[in-house]
Copies of this chain bind each other. A is one copy, B any other.
Amino acid sequence: MTSTVEPMTDLHIAQQAQLRPIAEIAERAGIPADAIELYGRYKAKIDVGEIPASGRRGKVVLVTAVSPTPAGEGKSTTTVGLADSLSRAFEQDGSGRKAMIALREPSLGPTLGMKGGATGGGYSQVLPMDEINLHFTGDFHAITSANNALCALIDNHIYQGNALNIDPRRISFKRVLDMNDRALREVVIGLGGPTQGVPRQDGFDITVASEIMAVFCLAKDLQDLKQRIGRITFGFDYDRKPVTVAELGVEGALTLLLKEAVKPNLVQTIAGTPALVHGGPFANIAHGCNSVIATSLARELADVVITEAGFGADLGAEKYMDIKARTADVAPDAVVIVATVRALKMHGGVAKTDLAEPDLAALQAGVGNLQRHIRNIRQFGLDPVVSINKFSSDSVEELDWLLQWCADHQVAAAVADVWGRGGGGDGGDELAAEVLRALQQPHRFDHLYALDLPVKEKIELIAQRIYGADRVEFSSPALKRLAEISSNGWDAFPVCMAKTQYSFSDDASLLGAPEGFTLHVRDLVPKTGAGFIVALTGAVMTMPGLPKTPAALRMDVDATGNAVGLS
């Protein structure tokens, strides 16, 4: 609740928090001192090989959300607050059980652009928020370096004689920057004459969309990472045969560049709950889940692991179920869908500027978005818990109506004030109780589709069952790619949908629960290292742009070197 006289920003709250030495947090989490490598006072990397097997397999709670709006949903805030509330509950019940967080790392591009940060908010944050939001322990930089080293090595191979017969017009692997830089979306490189490389059309993606990021997050360990990097198809030769990193012979060097990054990062919440923050693909253009290594480690260390999948449940959660949970033993035991009165009112047609006004009719009109996400989670065999993330502008009537709606639809729900009171306080007690109840329920997790369906049918199935589309239209290049996928034997891969996060459809302006629409697949990109096929829909961009007034304009350092303007 923002009821103080001077509203506190997330950064103020974070800077006033008392952090404990990370070695103390590690010890409490059961991580031996030999297994941690400090990065400053409050961050550590964990050498997983130094942790003795516990035999524990903690339960997994997946936090997801309604379709995001500019009103803000607070998914990370809820993840952190829920973990703190569970820690508090386990302390109070004397069971000795432990909760642990497994979150994604923030991307610098959006931090400088719109978001300002991605580490939760209010009294439910992971700390040190400024360092996590800026460079953290350098993992994204290592991924960017490995990605761009591969690109430089590919173009150099062509320049130096092209023994692999690579067709410069058919290179699918792009350079990346962890930056929102629209001017790099479409470029021509290699200009300037014969000593400057071979000219070709190219483009840059944001680092979170890199296949190196995907393999980093899906690998079981360093050797698996190396195998996966070797399997990446970066393009095709003049005979239309795929060419892999292993054929170029540089999977060892790229893995070497990632050998420290692949160790999970340990930080703490304001309330002192241990959090593994590691890996960070976006859920709209990539698979949207933190690393398998971190989630698996958290299951070894804690009884309940709270993890998050990016954007709405149509994107992050579907990919968690159909991609991540096929790669590793991390299927969720419970799912939390974060909703807010504000977001549902926007889905019901209210403008962002009018959200402070109570508007039951709009809430009723917008709840269909939540309803479809609930239905979707049930398709995976899980009964979700709805967490209503409280804002100070919410009216009692609106909150009560939403709780009653959930009850009428046989879905567990709780109002959580983890922003204002914190999970370390009593802000998430009811949510924690509902989640613990959900974890007791029997359930039968299942993927949405079988891997032996052709890629085209997988896409149609996701579009119809999850998005509510009537039909899928494949562009002519996409149809060619489908044929190429079949002929290369890649049909058994799952699909990673690239779609706007704002709508179930590929049209960002269609809020709520649209029906009768067509999903447009404009291109497909096989990611044979990650082991999935990316389907690009609508106008979704793999390199974002900066807004008219970037968050960077507010950022600064004060006279003592502290961060200013992150939020």
A interface residues, Cβ below 8 angstroms from B: 37-41, 45, 49, 108, 112, 131, 134-135, 137-138, 141-142, 144-145, 148-149, 151-153, 155-156, 159-161, 177-192, 195-198, 222-223, 226, 249-250, 252-253, 255-257, 259-261, 545-546, 548, 550, 552-553, 555-557, 559-561, 563-565
Contacts and interface: CB of A to CB of B under 8 A. Distances in A.
Given A226-B557, A256-B563, 9 more contacts: A112-B153, A131-B260, A152-B181, A186-B191, A187-B188, A187-B191, A197-B545, A252-B564, A253-B556
Given A40-B38, A226-B557, A183 B152 contact: yes
B557 A156 contact: no
Nearest to A49: B561
Given A188-B191, A252-B565, A256-B134, A183 B198 contact: yes
30 contacts: A40-B45, A40-B260, A108-B145, A108-B149, A134-B256, A134-B257, A138-B141, A148-B179, A152-B179, A152-B546, A153-B550, A159-B183, A182-B195, A182-B197, A183-B198, A185-B196, A187-B190, A188-B188, A188-B191, A222-B557, A223-B559, A249-B553, A250-B552, A252-B555, A252-B556, A252-B557, A253-B553, A253-B565, A256-B563, A259-B561
A504 B190 CA distance: 30
Contacts of A40: 37-39, 45, 260
A183 to B, nearest CB: 4
A182 B190 CA distance: 7
A182 to B, nearest CB: 5
Contacts of A38: 38-41
Interface centre among A178, A180, A183 (most CB of B within 10 A): A183
B253 A552 contact: yes
Nearest to A156: B546
A188 B159 CA distance: 19
A394 to B, nearest CB: 33
B45 A37 contact: no
A473 B68 CA distance: 61
Contacts of A45: 40
A149 B188 CA distance: 21
A259 B156 contact: no
Nearest to A549: B160
A189 B191 contact: no
A61 B184 CA distance: 45
A189 B192 contact: no
Given A40-B45, A253-B553, A183 B160 contact: no
Q: How many protomers of this protein does the assembly include?
A: 2
Given A141-B145, A557-B255, A151 B196 contact: no
B548 A160 contact: yes
A379 to B, nearest CB: 36
Given A177-B148, A185-B197, A188-B191, A153 B546 contact: yes
Contacts of A138: 135, 137-138, 141
A531 to B, nearest CB: 21
A152 to B, nearest CB: 4
Contacts of A186: 190-192, 196
A182 B153 contact: no
Nearest to A562: B259
Given A185-B196, A223-B559, A546-B156, A179 B255 contact: no
A554 to B, nearest CB: 8
Nearest to A136: B138
A155 B137 CA distance: 28
Contact of A187 (B189, B195, B550): B189
A189 B561 CA distance: 35
Contacts of A145: 108, 135, 141, 178-179
A138 B43 CA distance: 14
A153 B545 CA distance: 10
Contacts of A546: 152-153, 156
B149 A179 contact: yes
A153 B260 CA distance: 31
8 closest residue pairs by CB, A with B = A252-B556, A183-B197, A141-B141, A186-B192, A253-B552, A253-B555, A152-B181, A38-B38
A392 to B, nearest CB: 29
Contacts of A185: 191-192, 196-197
B155 A181 contact: yes
A225 B491 CA distance: 54
A188 B178 CA distance: 20
